[in-house]
Chains A and B, each alone.
Chain A
Amino acid sequence: MGSRKCLPRTTGLILIASLVAVLVLGSGLAAPLLAAAPLKVAAVFETPIEEPWVNQIHVALLRAKKDLGVQYEWSESVKSADFARVMREYAEKGYQLITGDAFGAERIARRVAVDYPKIAFVFGSGIGPAEPNFGVFDNWIHEPAFLSGMIAGKMTKSNTIGVVAAMPIPEVNRLANAFYAGAKEVNPKVKCKFSFIGSFFDPPKAKEAALAQIEAGVDVIYAERFGVIEAAKEKGILAISNMSDQSSLGPDNVITGPVWDMWPTVSYMVNLVKAGVFTAQDFGGFSFMSKGGSYLAPYHKFETKLPADVKDLVAKRKQEILAGTFRVNIDESIPKSD
């Protein structure tokens, strides 16, 4: 206990004095060099962050907090009626980048952005960017959906595959269509069934829809929503997950699935704002496979179970997509069951 007391009083005083001097002198000089305050990023989500779509954005922003040192705040389950207020609160609090999903509050988000031209807004949206400060992104994961379809087309024994999805909206349709196109490419005899549950969050209903498809002969099912993998597990059929690596939900049933990685989008937009060169643009391209914004989930247990020729086929096509020599067709028309 004595050692600290031993510090001579004069030494202490000198130390304090020099510290004060450094602070006084340094504050003027060092501030611009250190770029002091971290970038303030806010996200406004219409759904709880468990919603798979929103979760991918949230996860990437959490990573930005860790890796890029931004300050990150978010509000979830913000209904359309509150959307403008929450956005404005963040804008008034000095947040420099405001992001989120705006499908249900598309017009509202755009209207708020107009009032804060100095703040960067980047929202998940089905339509285009707006000058000067409203950028958009979307889940362009049709490429890994196509690759998943190739696997499904090869793995089906009944030549019947299925898709259970939320609603027939463009974001969902293009995944379902790409999945079917991939399957048809490797297996011309394959038939596909499509069911929509009319809601983004109703796992019991999604499960019932999946069970209905399985009864009708589907033996590889694309689980666009939660609930489908449980049905696949119960009936012992194969499943393709969606949005994130969901192998843990059914390690013996989930082969793989398209994964949406928002990190390339988020890191790019954060860096643009940091550099002060943000402009309104469509960040959608950052969700393509070539940018690392989407990929096929690891096979996990299916690494050994999947036939080598299927894996080779997929790996080859993946290379072609990455090299830009193969483009997955974007078809946003509403799919119909065969």
Chain B
Amino acid sequence: MNEILSQIFQVGFFAAVIRIATPLVFGTLGELFAERAGILNLGIEGIMMLAAMSGFSTVFFTGSLWLGVLAAVLTGVVAGLVMGLLTVSLGLSQHVSGIGLTLLCSGLSFYCYRLIFGQPSTLPAIKPFETVALPVLAEIPIIGPILFNQFALVYLAMLIVPAAAFVLFHTPWGLNLRTVGENPLAAFSAGVSVTAMRYQALLLSGALMGLAGAFLCMAQYNAYTFGVISGRGWVCIALIVFGQWNPWKSAAGAILFACIDALQLRLQASSAINLPYQVFLMLPFVLTIVGMALVSRNALAPAALLKPFRKEAR
């Protein structure tokens, strides 16, 4: 009996890790594409929030979850475009633009929510994504229920990590993107449009952040509330550094963070370790910072990160 219980506990634990990691993986990869192209997209927190709102509203009125995902992605793309206008076309400070975008998007999501839903006494809710057990794969003992009995968006995240790594390191587009982030002048000399590449990276970045927002209020939870993002965007920024601007390592960072978060929730609920709650709640963040400090010593940010490119300036 005890063994069965511990078995269930383990499956539940790892399934929770995957659930917690998924929005972080989307957000981190989104941020990764932007930073690899030389743009620090601090709009991430706001973009995730606005995308969550628009996606949720779409589902609420159409009843179609995938239409909601699409709306969230499109919202992210539009926000990415705004970031591009500010940082690529106008060459403004990326820090200021990003924080500004986050403020704008979070304010806007709040405003639109009020316009659309008014002041509901109970939270408007939708019927969220249900877990889908993949045939055959889900039957594999232990790994099956953990990895292959998840939300559709989780599978998407699992596919996007290798896809991102492939695109970034094994395609001409990826090479151009990285070059633009390392040495835009060289890319420009080779006939690559720095502006176009950076815009593309930001649109893709916004789309992925949109997926993160969609996952949070359509799969992991079934309503949009303020605080549904709660700093997850900022965690993604740290995970990039932790992952040394590499999709695989960043995703691993997201899983590690999720692991510690899931673990601390279980430690809180057990009487095994008698520590103040604040210590448990801090754990994922502290360990990310410590990990980041250790790992990122050899990490090199894209050389042109934060630097606007003006082709007429030599």
Give chain A's interface residues, CB within 8 Å of chain B.
47-50, 55, 58-59, 77, 162, 168, 193-205, 207-209, 211-213, 215-218, 226-227, 230, 244, 246, 248-249, 334, 336-338
B268 x A195 contact (CB < 8 A): yes
- Excluding A195-B268, A199-B230, A216-B266, 4 further A-B contacts by CB distance (< 8 Å) are A193-B270, A202-B227, A226-B223, A226-B225
A201 x B220 contact (CB < 8 A): no
A338 x B230 contact (CB < 8 A): no
Shortest Cβ distance from A203 into B: residue: B221
| Chain A residues with CB below 8 A from B121, complex form | 55, 59, 244
Most A CB atoms within 10 A — which of B120, B122, B222, B227? Answer: B227
B277 x A208 contact (CB < 8 A): no
| Chain B residues with CB below 8 A from A162, complex form | 269
B230 x A215 contact (CB < 8 A): no
| Chain B residues with CB below 8 A from A244, complex form | 121-122
Smallest CB separation, A295 vs chain B (Å): 17
Smallest CB separation, A54 vs chain B (Å): 11
| Chain B residues with CB below 8 A from A212, complex form | 12, 16, 262, 265-266, 268-269
- Among candidates B216, B226, B265, B277, residue contacting A201 with C-beta atoms closer than 8 Å: B226
| Chain B residues with CB below 8 A from A226, complex form | 123, 223, 225
CA distance A249 to B226 in the complex (A): 18
| Chain A residues with CB below 8 A from B278, complex form | 198
B268 x A47 contact (CB < 8 A): no
Smallest CB separation, B216 vs chain A (Å): 5
Does any Cβ of A come within 8 Å of B234's Cβ?
A: no
B16 x A208 contact (CB < 8 A): yes
Smallest CB separation, A139 vs chain B (Å): 17
Does any Cβ of A come within 8 Å of B155's Cβ?
A: no
CA distance A247 to B278 in the complex (A): 31
B16 x A202 contact (CB < 8 A): no
CA distance A202 to B228 in the complex (A): 5
- Among candidates A77, A203, A215, A337, residue contacting B9 with C-beta atoms closer than 8 Å: A215
Smallest CB separation, B70 vs chain A (Å): 21
Shortest Cβ distance from A163 into B: residue: B269
A211 x B16 contact (CB < 8 A): yes
B1-49 with Cβ < 8 A to chain A: 5, 8-9, 12-13, 16, 19-20
Beyond A208-B20, A208-B262, A226-B123, whether A194 also contacts B271 by CB under 8 A is: no
Interface residues on chain B, number (Cβ under 8 Å): 39
Beyond A59-B121, A208-B20, whether A336 also contacts B274 by CB under 8 A is: yes
| Chain A residues with CB below 8 A from B230, complex form | 199, 201-202, 205
B19 x A208 contact (CB < 8 A): yes
Smallest CB separation, A300 vs chain B (Å): 14
B125 x A249 contact (CB < 8 A): yes
A201 x B227 contact (CB < 8 A): yes
5 tightest Cβ-Cβ pairs between the two chains A and B: A201-B227, A198-B281, A215-B12, A212-B265, A202-B230
- Among candidates B12, B16, B221, B227, residue contacting A199 with C-beta atoms closer than 8 Å: B227
Shortest Cβ distance from A197 into B: residue: B281
A47 x B266 contact (CB < 8 A): no
A204 x B228 contact (CB < 8 A): yes
A203 x B268 contact (CB < 8 A): no
Beyond A196-B268, A201-B226, A208-B262, whether A216 also contacts B123 by CB under 8 A is: no
| Chain A residues with CB below 8 A from B16, complex form | 208, 211-212
Does any Cβ of A come within 8 Å of B110's Cβ?
A: yes
Beyond A55-B121, A334-B277, whether A216 also contacts B269 by CB under 8 A is: yes
| Chain B residues with CB below 8 A from A334, complex form | 276-277
CA distance A303 to B262 in the complex (A): 36
Does any Cβ of A come within 8 Å of B119's Cβ?
A: yes
Beyond A77-B110, A208-B16, A209-B268, whether A196 also contacts B281 by CB under 8 A is: yes
| Chain A residues with CB below 8 A from B20, complex form | 208
Residues 220-260 of B, flagged 1 when their CB comes within 8 A of A and 0 if not, give 11110111101000000000000000000000000000000
Shortest Cβ distance from B10 into A: residue: A215
| Chain B residues with CB below 8 A from A198, complex form | 277-278, 281
CA distance A334 to B216 in the complex (A): 30
| Chain B residues with CB below 8 A from A168, complex form | 277
CA distance A226 to B123 in the complex (A): 9
B266 x A203 contact (CB < 8 A): no
Smallest CB separation, A92 vs chain B (Å): 25
| Chain A residues with CB below 8 A from B122, complex form | 244, 246, 248-249
Shortest Cβ distance from A160 into B: residue: B269
| Chain B residues with CB below 8 A from A200, complex form | 227
CA distance A334 to B268 in the complex (A): 13
- Among candidates B19, B226, B228, residue contacting A47 with C-beta atoms closer than 8 Å: B226
